[in-house]
Amino acid sequence: MSAGINGHAIAAIYKFEMNRTFRTIWQSIAAPVLTTTLYLIVFGAGLGGRISPFHGVPYGAFIVPGLIMLSVLTQSVANASFGIYFPKFSGTIYEILSAPVGALEIVIAYVGAAASKSLILASVSLATAFLLVPLRVDHPILMLMFLTLTAFSFSLFGFIIGIWADGFEKLQIIPLLVVTPLTFLGGTFFPISVLPAAWKAVALFNPVVYLISGFRWSFFSQGDVNIGVSLAATLGFLSVCLLIVWRIFQTGWRLKN
């Protein structure tokens, strides 16, 4: 091993995490894809015909970016938090802590694996959406960029939750009580422009609004907030998560005595 990056360790952890995913493929991939598909069928293909198009975009297509974001946000947080929490719970974290592995390699491997799973989910969900609703993607490269950035940012956020959690309940609190409500209220099923002025102002404090808006802009060239602001907000969230993770490894918080 060179004194630089421990590439073999990154590969080992990444492979281990992906193996875990494929070992539990029904729970890891099939179930979230099925949930997204059900939303598309009920709200898109079913109820969507009775709802007026937003700025010329049929409702069925309008909700696709939000639904994919909902899946990516919740699954990124869940996968990354479980990935690092479980070794802490089972005690196998001793091996990671005693190995010649730095914070960077650990984060790249765990967050990379969690983000990969989310990207697989998003790809399958997107392919399903193309089959069910009339969909277009105006800016495919930007769409991929947003998707990747969001998957990594929220996997990083999940990683922090996994380190912070000292029980399975805490592991679930943030995804269920914070991420999911913010995503539902962040414009998944409606543009925030339809809200009364006061609620619209409140909604702008919801960081997920910027993610969904930016992602939706890459599909239909329209969003609730400016694409530049969306991008800046996503990068800002990523930076804050990186800073917290760096500090965690510097101090050994919740990892070492």
Query: Which residues bind to another protein, rule: CB under 8 A?
Result: 1, 3, 6, 8-9, 11-13, 15-16, 19-20, 23, 90-92, 94-102, 252, 256-257
**Cβ neighbours of residue 51 closer than 8 Å, sequence gap 6 or more:** 59
Nearer Cβ to another protein (67/80): 80
User: H or E stretch including 218?
Assistant: helix 207-220
Query: In this complex, which beta carbon is closest to another protein, that of residue 4 or of residue 196?
Result: 4
Of 6 and 28, which has the nearer Cβ to another protein?
6
Residue bearing tokens 């277009």: 136
Measured between alpha carbons, how far apart are the two ends of the chain, in Å? 27
User: Least distance (Å) from another protein to the CB of residue 92?
Assistant: 5
User: Residue 197 CB: number of other CB atoms within 10 A?
Assistant: 7
Nearer to another protein, 59 or 159 (CB): 159
Minimum CB separation from another protein for residue 202, in Å? 40
Give the CA count within 13 Å in the CB-facing half-sphere of 177: 6
Q: How far is the CB of 186 from another protein (least distance, A)?
A: 36
**Least distance to another protein, CB of residue 106, Å:** 10
Nearer Cβ to another protein, position 87 or 191? 87
Structure tokens at 27: 């729970």
Cα 227 to its chain centre, rounded Å, is: 19
| Shortest Å, Cβ 89 to another protein | 10
**Rounded least distance, CB 2 to another protein, Å:** 8
> For another protein, which is the closer residue by CB, 58 or 102?
102
* Rounded least distance, CB 162 to another protein, Å: 16
Choose between 20 and 170: whose C-beta lies nearer to another protein. Answer: 20
**Cβ atoms of residues 76 and 154 within 8 Å:** yes
Note whether 42 and 132 are within 8 A (CB): no
Spatial separation of the C-alpha atoms in residues 163 and 171, rounded to whole Å: 9
Specify whether the CB–CB gap between 139 and 214 falls below 8 A. Answer: no
| Residue 55 to residue 44: CA distance in whole angstroms | 16
- Residue in the structure block whose two tokens are 């992906």: 18
Burial environment of residue 201 by CB neighbours within 10 A (0 to 12, 13 to 18, 19 or more):
exposed
Placement of tokens 């890891």 in the chain: 28
